[in-house]
């Protein structure tokens, strides 16, 4: 209950900041600075121009992109700024379709800003189809960089609400080094076969809130990289996609611990996985702790509950060498619905560092498919605490 109250207080504080700042904000409409809503003329120069003015203002400022279709090239928006700044996107902002026109892995990058808001009900369209067809990064380690729709680097006290990211060429959103950052009524949309299009990827950030949002894409709806701390996901609808994941972890030396992840009151529909923790075999040492998945509804999800410490996509690993990532204090509570695979619960922990303090409580998952008459579970190198009713019986 205390955690939930803190969630509400933090979100309310950010919303109050946003509303109070907007009430007396200085407004910069990009069309007053030469931006054209014709979908062909780049507004990159105009955006940077008005950002410079807004960021230098000692009063709260608002940049408005009105209704219409605007073309925007690769842009980096940087602080620090002298006062809170809001960007209100009412229209559709489109990226160049050709991925070769980008120099980095970010289309629109925000960095080193405090008290920032992105709002307006608008759409960021990454026009990713050409990039998806060219993406061979799963087999080519020297593949060309593919831009993400939105990068947030080292942002503090931020609110992104009522915004859609569409058809990103790569990740839709990357959150790095951020603190006290809320996504509210946020929407991610891409086809289920769009490669590597994670909805929101978080790394080395503290205090991230994702609330009342809808994410459908071709990879993880939400994924946590190393150094993620105190991440709260509430009221999210995920699907299509690969589920809500921690990891993959342990592939690189010096990864920071992941600690504090709450996923509550979410629904996953026709996803490849449900809630999942994944680490590489033959990994570097690392740690994952304080993960809690509660009140989750699964609808025809392939692998509803997963701990996978032999995660090895495309067989690019040494699967016979145990993972060295320690997993402890993990709970799965009140998870219900249907599995499209016979194994509804899979807890495959490391033989070198077995999972500790795992709790499984009140699980009711039915199997819908031809493989077996009932759902089942698989467990290795873990002795979970079993509470409440279990269907299927977990680690029996």
Catalytic residue among 161, 172, 242, 292: 242
Joined tokens for residue 22 = 């907007």
For the entire predicted model, the pTM comes to 0.93
Asked whether the bond before 248 is cis by omega within 30 degrees of 0, the reply is yes
Is 242 an annotated catalytic residue?
A: yes
**What span, in angstroms and rounded, lies between the C-alpha atoms of 86 and 295?**
34
The pLDDT value given to residue 135: 87
Residue range 220-395, CATH number: 2.160.20.10
In tens digits, the chain (396 residues) has pLDDT values of 344 444 544 444 444 444 444 457 899 999 999 999 999 999 999 999 999 999 999 999 999 999 999 999 999 999 999 999 999 999 999 999 999 999 999 999 999 999 999 999 999 999 999 999 998 876 777 778 899 999 999 999 999 999 999 999 999 999 999 999 999 999 999 999 999 999 999 999 999 999 999 999 999 999 999 999 999 999 999 999 999 999 999 999 999 999 999 999 999 999 999 999 999 999 999 999 999 999 999 999 999 999 999 999 878 789 899 999 999 999 999 999 999 999 999 999 999 999 999 999 999 999 998 766 678 999 999 999 999 999 999 998
CB atoms within 10 A of CB 209: 20
Dist. CA 170–CA 126, nearest whole Å: 9
Tell me the three state secondary structure of residue 372. coil
**Burial class of residue 312, CB neighbours in 10 A (0-12, 13-18, 19+):** middle
| In the chain, where the domains are located | 220-395
Count the residues in the chain. Answer: 396
Inter-CA distances, 217 with 99, 116, 249, 359, Å: 19, 26, 21, 30
CA distance 136 to 281: 23
The confidence score (pLDDT) of residue 23 equals 54
According to the 3-state scheme, what is the secondary structure of 198-255?
CCEEEECCEEEEEECCEEECCCCCEEECCCCEEEEEECCEECCCCCEEEEEECCCCCC
Strand partners, 116: 85, 158
């Amino acid at each position: 209950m205390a955690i939930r109250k803190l969630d509400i207080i933090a979100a309310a504080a950010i919303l109050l900041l946003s509303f109070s700042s907007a009430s007396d904000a200085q407004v910069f409409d990009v069309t007053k600075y030469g931006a054209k809503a014709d979908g062909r003329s780049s507004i990159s120069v105009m955006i940077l121009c008005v950002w410079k003015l807004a960021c230098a203002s000692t009063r709260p400022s608002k940049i408005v992109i009105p209704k219409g279709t605007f073309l925007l090239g690769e842009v980096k928006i940087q602080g620090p700024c002298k006062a809170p700044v809001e960007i209100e996107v009412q229209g559709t902002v489109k990226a160049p379709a050709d991925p070769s026109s980008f120099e980095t892995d970010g289309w629109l990058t925000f960095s080193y800003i405090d008290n920032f808001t992105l709002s307006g009900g608008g759409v960021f369209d990454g026009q990713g189809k050409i990039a998806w067809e060219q993406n061979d990064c799963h087999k080519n380690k020297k593949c060309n960089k593919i831009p993400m729709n939105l990068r947030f680097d080292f942002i503090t006290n931020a609110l992104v609400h009522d915004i859609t990211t569409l058809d990103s060429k790569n990740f839709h959103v990357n959150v790095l080094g951020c603190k006290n950052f809320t996504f509210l009524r946020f929407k991610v949309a891409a086809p289920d076969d769009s490669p590597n299009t994670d909805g929101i990827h978080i790394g080395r950030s503290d205090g991230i809130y994702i609330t009342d949002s809808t994410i459908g894409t071709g990879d993880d709806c939400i994924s946590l990289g190393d150094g993620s701390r105190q991440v709260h996901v509430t009221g999210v609808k995920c699907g299509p996609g690969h589920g809500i994941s921690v990891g993959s972890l342990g592939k690189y030396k010096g990864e920071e611990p992941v600690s504090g992840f709450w996923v509550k009151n979410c629904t996953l529909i026709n996803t490849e996985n449900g809630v999942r923790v994944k680490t590489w075999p033959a990994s570097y040492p690392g740690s994952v702790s304080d993960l809690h998945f509660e009140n989750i509804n699964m609808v025809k999800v392939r692998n509803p509950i997963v701990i996978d410490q032999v995660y090895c996509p495309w067989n690019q690993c040494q699967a016979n060498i145990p993972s060295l990532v320690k997993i402890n204090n993990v709970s799965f509570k009140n998870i219900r619905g249907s599995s499209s695979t016979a194994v509804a619960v899979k807890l495959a922990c490391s033989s070198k560092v077995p999972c500790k303090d795992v709790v499984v409580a009140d699980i009711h998952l039915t199997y819908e498919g031809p493989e077996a008459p009932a759902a089942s579970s698989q467990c290795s190198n873990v002795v979970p605490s079993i509470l409440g009713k279990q269907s299927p019986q977990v680690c029996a």
